[in-house]
Amino acid sequence: MTSTVILGDEPLTIDQVEAVARSVPPGSDYLGEPIHVEVSEAAWGRVRHTRSVVEGLADDTVAHYGISTGFGALATMHIPVDKRHQLQRSLIRSHAAGAGPEVEREVVRALMLLRIQTLATGRTGIREETLRAYVAMLNAGITPVVHEYGSLGCSGDLAPLAHCALALMGEGTVRDAAGDLRSAAEALAAAGIEPVDLAEKEGLALINGTDGMLGMLCMAIADLRALVTVADIAAAMSVEGLLGTDDVFAADLQALRPQPGQALSAANMRKVLAVSEIRDSHRDPDACTRVQDAYSLRCAPQVAGAVRDTIDHAARVAGWELASAVDNPVVTLDDRVESNGNFHGAPVAYVLDFLAIAAADLASMSERRTDRFLDKARNHGLHAFLADDPGVDSGLMIAQYTQAAMVSEMKRLAAPASVDSIPSSAMQEDHVSMGWGAARKLRRSVDALTHVLTIELLAAARGIQLRAPLRPSPVSAAVIAALDEVTRTAPGPDRILADDIAEAVYAVADGSLLAAAEAAAGPLN
């Protein structure tokens, strides 16, 4: 069965962008459900109308940017009618100047979807046949090869979008639905799609957008929303395994500082720690000699909560951008064709950088909790490094090294890209956002955070099991069981940790570990 997403009438949601970007190719052997994209009939009407506006200006003696002129610093050059198709082809070919590694399929699909949505608003002057071909290319699972470098995040994600437009023209290289590299001409022919000969204004309409950075922002928000809940689970299990207290997570204490994300994280941690024999074993204040837990335990809701609030802010910005029609020039609601600066990626770039900072701090706290588990002086009676036979076995010693290396990398990735700007186009584009670069580093940061949290979960699972015969909370037990389905968490002689980490990362990334926790706890925030 195929789901359908209708474009052109309402803004896309973050969930829709993620779903289309990560949907399986049609007719492939991958598990999952393909998603079909369609443009609404009302949107087709708007597309046809604004195209007529552009065509009405094509023969005007007055120069109109992108219609009868060159581009960027060449905007003052008038282009004769007989050279305007060549102008559009030259624009796309010259701007398809990306370099470096190929970016992920899901990024390109998100970029294509968002450009189609803007084209379907009827504010760009695209021709109907061009937009229909773009929709068909996305639905056929044809993914143009887009490279890591080329976008400065201003005047749109020019190079990445140009590589997609190049494929629409039947040029360049793509991956087909099976993931095989093919020439664009061959892939379009196999899918029954005619290459497009671009007309006035269409080249600009296809490349002037924040679609690449916005698509990556949407997917990062979706991933981080799940990961911050996983972080609450991992923190609670660490509190449990390290004989910490859940008293500090009480709702009335959280209400004294009404940060919304903090309250949600504390509520998650209370659910995870409920009905724990391990916790109950040291609940008597006369028997417990510790006054306060370390910050990495006690302040977990404050940090994870701040991450939640940062994600919510980023989602608000993404929502505004998803409701936008970004192009230059743009056809206004009263049929004026006007230049503008809406392609500047600053709003998106800032929140991409904010999220990288938040992710790095969340990972840093996670690594500190793992380190406490491994230090015999601070783990309250557990084996050194949680090893089966310390000295003979090293336990999780080097897993924490891996965490530390990734956290250090995340701190470097947290340095903002959006404060940088290198002028381009002969100083016409003298301030750029670097939003694409901010998005690319955030993707690496999200991946590292997944690994860091997974290693904490493995440490907490082993530490909790070393508290036997005391039983953990039902939620912790469910998480440990879910991990044990893909790896071994119980103490024992050393084995290859890389394999254990990799398998556990899959369980975190695909949502199965979170699902196991919620099956025991009920819905988590």
- Give catalytic residue positions: 65
Distant-in-sequence, close-in-space partners of 2: CB < 8 Å, separation ≥ 6: 26, 33, 34, 35, 36
Residue 149: strand pairing partners: 99
CA dist., res. 441 & res. 102, Å (int)? 15
In terms of Cβ atoms closer than 10 Å to its own Cβ (0-12, 13-18, 19+), residue 29 is exposed
Q: Which single residue is written with the structure tokens 């084995």?
A: 495
CA dist., res. 328 & res. 124, Å (int)? 8
Token digits of residue 3? 């789901």
**Total residue count of the chain as it appears in this document:** 525
Selection from 8, 286, 220 nearest residue 121 by Cα: 8
Helix H or strand E encompassing 493: none
CA dist., res. 505 & res. 516, Å (int)? 15
The three state secondary structure string of 33-94 is: CCEEEEECHHHHHHHHHHHHHHHHHCCCCCCCCCCCECCHHHCCCECCHHHHHHHHHHHHHH
Token digits of residue 485? 């389905």
Q: Report residue 126: phi and psi, to 5°.
A: -65, 150
